[in-house]
Amino acid sequence: MGLVAIVVDRGREKGFALIAVLWLLAVLSLVAASLAQQMRLDTTVAQNVVHRADTRLAAQAGIQRAILDLWTPPDAQKFRTDGTVYTWRFANSKVYVSIKDESTKLDLNQAPVEPLVALFQSLGLQPDEAESVAEAIADFRDPDDLMHPRGAEQHQYQVAGLAWDPKNAPFDEVQELHQVFGVTQEIYEQIAPSLTTHNAEDATILFDGSRGSAFSIRSEAKSFNGGDFVREAIVRQRLGDLVIVSWQEGQGSRHLDIASKYDPQ
C-alpha cells in the first residue's frame, strides 16, 4: 500500500507540474502576443508621424511653388488666381494648389451690411439668416454698443452663455467669425471662403498688371501612404516683395475631384 501511495503522489506531482508548465506557456504566449501588438502599434504610430511630416513638407512646398508662380512673368505663369485647383507632384505626395486674389473677396471690415446680406443669400443662406449674420458681424466689429435690429451685442452673448463679448474692433482674421453670435460651423464654411481681412491696404499694380495686393494660397498634400496635410497662407505685396502675412494649418477638402488635370510642374 505504501508503494502505491508513493506512485500516486508522484503521478499527482507530475500532473500538477504539467498544468503549471501549461499555464506558464499560456502566460508567456499572452505576454508575447501583447508585446507583438504593442510593437505593431508603435510601428504604425511611427509611420503615421513620418507620413504626416512628409505631407506637411509637401504642402509647404506647394505654398512656395505658388509664390514662385506669382513672381513669374505673366506669359509664363501656370496658376490662375481665381481659385482653380491644380495638381502637382512632390516627392511621394500629390499636392493640390490654388491661388485666390483677395481683391475678389468681400472685405470683412469694410463691407456694409447690405452687401454682406446679398453675399450670404447668394451662398445659400435664407434671407432672415443672412440678415442676422450680417448684422451680428457689424455689431461685432463696430466700437459701440448700439445693436442692429437683428444683430447682437454684449447682452445677447451673455444670455447665450458665451465666454466672450463682441470684439468691438476690426477683424484680424476671417477665423474670428467663429466668435460672432449666430455663426455656426456650417455657416462659417459657407461664407468664409468669400471673405477677407486683407483688402484694407490700397491695391497696387501687380506683376501681370492686374489689380490686387494680396492672395490666399491653399495647398493640400496627400501621400500615396495615406498621409494628408493642408497648409494655407496669405501673401501680400510690400515694397516690391511678397510677404507671408498669415500661415496656418487648414482643413481637408471634400472637393479635390474637381482639381484641374493640368500639372504645372
Q: What span, in angstroms and rounded, lies between the C-alpha atoms of 150 and 138?
A: 10
pLDDT of residue 204: 40
Interior angle at CA 131, CA 163 and CA 122, nearest 5: 115
State the residue for C-alpha cell 467663429.
178
- Name every residue whose Cβ is closer than 8 Å to that of residue 114 and which is 6 or more positions away in sequence: none
Q: What span, in angstroms and rounded, lies between the C-alpha atoms of 253 and 169?
A: 31
pLDDT of residue 28: 75
Contact 111, 117 (CB under 8 A): no
Domains plus CATH for the chain?
1-105+199-265 (no CATH), 106-194 (1.10.40.60)
Please, what are the averages of pLDDT over each run of 10 residues along the chain (265 residues)?
A: 52 66 75 73 57 85 93 85 91 92 92 95 94 97 95 95 95 94 94 86 42 83 86 85 83 50 49
pLDDT of residue 209: 42
